[in-house]
Structure 1
Amino acid sequence: MSKRTIEIMDTTLRDGEQTSGISFSASEKLTIARLLIEELEVDRIEVASARVSEGEFEAVKNIINWAKENEYLNRVEILTFVDAGKSIQWMKDTGAKVQNLLTKGSLNHLKYQLKKTPEQHFNDVKETFALAQKEGIINNIYLEDWSNGMRNSPEYVYQFLDFLCTQPVKRVLLPDTLGVLIPSETYTYLAQLRSKYPNLHFDFHAHNDYDLGVANAIEGLKAGVNGLHLTMNGMGERAGNAPLASVIAVINDHLPDVTTRVKEVALYKVSKLVETFSGFKIPANKPIVGDNVFTQTAGIHADGDNKHNLYFNDLMPERFGRKRKYALGKTSGKANIEKNLQELGLKLSPEDIKKVTQKIIKLGDKKEVVTQDDLPYIISDVLDSKLYTNKVKIKSYVLNHAKGLSPSATVAIKIEDEVIEEHAQGDGQYDAFINALGKVYKQKNKVLPKLIDYAVRIPPGSNSDALCETVITWKTEVKEFVTRGLDSDQTVSAIKATEKMLNIIEQ
């Protein structure tokens, strides 16, 4: 079966920039334009609206100069207006060669916004096209509010398209401007136009107000449209536009007779760069590009993947330049731990895996986020705990730190079968804790080792709300030794390291 190649026009730099609070700098626009065309290999990009600002003018000039040098000029498009040639002059000054002329695709918009008759509007469009042709500019045309036009004034839409069949227009761009369509309507309306106007090139432009942007775009392809307008990360006004990554994945997996030139493997890379430049945060569960969408959380899923990839689907992360992950938390099972150990090149005994799993579940119950970067620290803590028996137990403690008062600590220590309680002050909470501990051991006629180094580490790449490791170096009369404590709280991790020290000196 021969596949029909459709055009993908990315409008992140124009419609996407209409996301509330978003504004790209000129250099950011140029970088994104280059990535869209050279990395993702979209067919066309819409980069700006004419006459918006001086900054926009300079940004477009930069993009146009780059496009000229690389023979991409006819792939860069500008939104223009029916404004007696002002937009055409603006384009001429930038060097741009493709206009997307904004016109009225519904009788309501024409009647109440422009207050003109169809004939008057068509004549204005004709004059704008003629001016563009004179300057060597290619004509595309938006029928704004086309979807409501098909619902409420289809005769007007047909009248407009009949007129366009007589004009020098390359593409007719059909936007669901307010995101009102459902998939069945999208298919019906577009199939009607495809049948009635077989020689016109139709692009469909979906908005996502009902979260139906992807579904509507796919129905548009089934109805026979020639191109789609999409944005990175679904950016756009209100609820945004149909997202590029999701639509491309659906086309590749579910439309065997349709293909695009877009390179899937670059989707995530470009998506993250656009997120960085825009400050528009990608939801963690956003298909294809969200942080969590290739992360298995339930242990049973990791177990199934280990045995026969039972929880894989066609959306393999490698397609998009990503990797599958296995979350570590309270729902983690042994299989999740094993998958992460494989990634790190580590191997533990079944008994040690069980202990590590219990530690991770305990952290998960405290709502701590555990990452693969934390795993070596957890393993170290668990294995280190096996080196001695707990003859000494820190049963309880209270740490106080109030403005104007010295930090203080009250501790209760169980040494074999005896519980001893003491209170002390110090320069900080942990210092007060050590001073109280010193009083306990003075009662036992024992001297604590000297603390000679104290270091706190957060696992590289981890989250500061997950784990920190406190590493303390101690010195007795005969040796130096190190103990480690692991916890989400820095002081608690130091106390855990101290408890290990107490058990070592008891032995």
Structure 2
Amino acid sequence: MNLKEPLDQLAVPPTQFTRHLKFPDPASIRVYDDTLRDGEQMPGVAFSPEQKLELAQLLSDMGVHVIDPAFPAVSESDRKALQLIVQAQRRGTIRKDIEILAMCRSLKEDIDAVADTVTAVGANPDDVSVLVLSTLSDLHLKYKLGKTLLRRDGLPEDQWLTRPVGYYREQNLGLITHAIRYARKRGFSRVEFAAEDASRSDVSYGEVWAKACVEAGGTRMCFSDTCGVFTPEAVDHYIPRLVKVLGPVPMTAHFHNDFGLGAINTVRAISHGALYAGVTANGIGERAGNTPLHEFVMVLKMLYGVELPGFRYDLLTELRRKIERYSGVPLQPHEPIVGEGVFKHESGIHTAAIAIHPAIYQFIAEEAVGGEQRFVFGKHSGAAAVESVLAKHVKTLHEHGVEVSPELVKRILDRVKSLREETLPERGYPEAMDAHYRQYYGLGLSEERIVELALEAADKRRVF
């Protein structure tokens, strides 16, 4: 049914409470997809080079602006994936304007690995970007990176715990700026400088670090909420100050999702001028994953009124399904926006209202994200849903001499409820759940398998 009045007159739109916020020009906002590299770091997930190429092509079709597919220094598979994607872009099967990026640690050999990987297939370092990894929190600087910084300074490791954090801060500046300069020397014109655990760092040190990276030739900062502890209030504390320091140099908001706040924090960061939104398809990634791509783009569009020009929102469900197939990790059916069940309805109250107009119980139209609305029939079903289905198939029913009537609808509804009661398992679904978790735990090698491999390796050494 068509509504007589405009929908916004009947239901207060969420943008009424957000339209006062200032966002950058939508054409300047960039979707920075980390699925193929950071997302792949989800335990047990591994994409083949060919799968990465196929996913990169879908992401290109969707309209993302940056793809991070590889960490070439750590794996031959990643080197191959980067080469396939670079070659596809040169052929035109991946958009020419999409930025392809590869990750490095702040090490000469890591930067060389990216350069050598792309030149091996006739490309130039300038055809890709590099992300050079650093860190910002004192916890990371002293206790994760500390020994590396001491060795680089020619000092013994036994000074590790006695050295103050100020020493590690200063050494860290030298490490990252040297890496940026070396990357520029190797021919990379786009060098992103990434700050791990920036959300738990001293923002004043972050300002010093960012200035030094820009002066060394860095072209974009990646601010990482590595442990997913950011709140919108913390975003307000960090991001405006660093955006101001960076000036014309853009920032990536790379947030993890440990408290389910990745999307809203990323939107908040964009409102403060961080132009690049770091996301992963299906939100895959370490621990609780990264900011989900589908949540970020739809929250930005539907709740804040910021639509990204040229972005194919209608491919979100297709992407969800492809990531599930290749990762082996299914999303929960009630996953916001793209879950298999978010456009399915069973309750009689809901289905009756949906039959009048979907907006009564659905704020997102299923076709907007490539989904499908369906009625599911069970103990909660009502007559309206049955009538709706019969109306869609009335021609078939008439061909078989069946006339739709209230009595027929009631008989069907009674039978539906009895069938559902008959098929309801008394013990729930333990076998199905056990099978699901066996499959999930089988995605990677277990600790027990590592011990077995150690024993096998020891046996081989004894033989030789």
Same fold judged by TM-score > 0.5? yes
Structure 2 match to 1:122: 173
Structure 1 match to 2:133: 102
Aligned-residue RMSD, C-alpha: 2.2
Structure 1 match to 2:283: 234
Identity of aligned residues (%): 27
The one-letter code sitting in structure 1 at the alignment partner of 2:143 is Y
Q: Secondary structure at the match of 2:350?
A: helix
The one-letter code sitting in structure 2 at the alignment partner of 1:102 is L
Does residue 65 of structure 1 match 2:87? yes
Structure 2 match to 1:89: 112
Gap change, CA 1:162 and 1:134, over 3 Å in 2: closer
Q: Note the 1:112-261 alignment, pairs <5 A.
A: 112-115=143-146, 116=149, 117-137=168-188, 138-149=190-201, 153-257=202-306, 259=308, 261=310
Structure 2 gaps, min length 5: 1-21, 119-124, 150-167, 398-403, 426-431, 433-464
Residue 339 of structure 1 and its aligned partner are, at CA, apart by: 2.4
Distance 1:226 1:17 in 2: 24
Structure 1 match to 2:77: 55
Does residue 12 of structure 1 match 2:63? no
Distance 2:175 2:359 in 1: 60
Q: Deviations over 1:36-77 (max 9, x none)?
A: 112x11001110113112222222211121122226386111
Structure 1 match to 2:406: 350
Distance 2:387 2:349 in 1: 12
Distance 2:353 2:362 in 1: 13
Distance 1:292 1:123 in 2: 51
Is contact 1:143-1:174 (8 Å) kept? Answer: yes
Q: Which structure has the higher relative contact order (CA within 8 Å, separation 6+)?
A: 2
Distance 1:263 1:167 in 2: 37
Distance 1:217 1:78 in 2: 22
What is the aligned counterpart of 1:28 among 17, 38, 51? Answer: 51
Question: Structure 1 residues 305-314 or 218-227, which shifts more?
Answer: 305-314
- Once superposed, which parts of structure 1, at least 4 consecutive aligned residues long, lie more than 6 Å away? none
Distance 1:298 1:81 in 2: 53
Structure 1 match to 2:401: none
Distance 2:250 2:284 in 1: 25
The one-letter code sitting in structure 2 at the alignment partner of 1:318 is E
Residue 167 of structure 1 and its aligned partner are, at CA, apart by: 2.6
Gap change, CA 1:22 and 1:193, over 3 Å in 2: same
Gap change, CA 1:308 and 1:129, over 3 Å in 2: closer
Structure 1 match to 2:156: none
Distance 1:206 1:295 in 2: 31
Is contact 1:231-1:243 (8 Å) kept? Answer: yes
The one-letter code sitting in structure 1 at the alignment partner of 2:191 is N
Gap change, CA 1:368 and 1:216, over 3 Å in 2: same
Q: Deviations over 1:337-391 (max 9, x none)?
A: 122234445562221111111111112223559xxxxxxxxxxxxxxxxxxxxxx
Q: Note the 1:246-285 alignment, pairs <5 A.
A: 246-257=295-306, 259=308, 261-285=310-334
Does residue 362 of structure 1 match 2:418? yes
Structure 1 match to 2:104: 80
Select the structure that is richer in helix: 2
What is the aligned counterpart of 2:348 among 280, 291, 299? Answer: 299
The one-letter code sitting in structure 1 at the alignment partner of 2:415 is K
The one-letter code sitting in structure 2 at the alignment partner of 1:62 is L
Gap change, CA 1:196 and 1:90, over 3 Å in 2: closer
The one-letter code sitting in structure 2 at the alignment partner of 1:130 is R
Is contact 1:7-1:260 (8 Å) kept? Answer: no
Find the structure with the greater CA-based Rg: 1
Query: What TM-score, normalized to structure 2?
Result: 0.74
Structure 1 match to 2:447: none
Q: Note the 1:412-431 alignment, pairs <5 A.
A: none
Gap change, CA 1:119 and 1:111, over 3 Å in 2: same
Question: Structure 1 residues 135-144 or 89-98, which shifts more?
Answer: 89-98
Q: Secondary structure at the match of 1:172?
A: strand
Tell me the number of residue pairs that the alignment of Structure 1 and Structure 2 aligns: 365
Does residue 336 of structure 1 match 2:385? yes
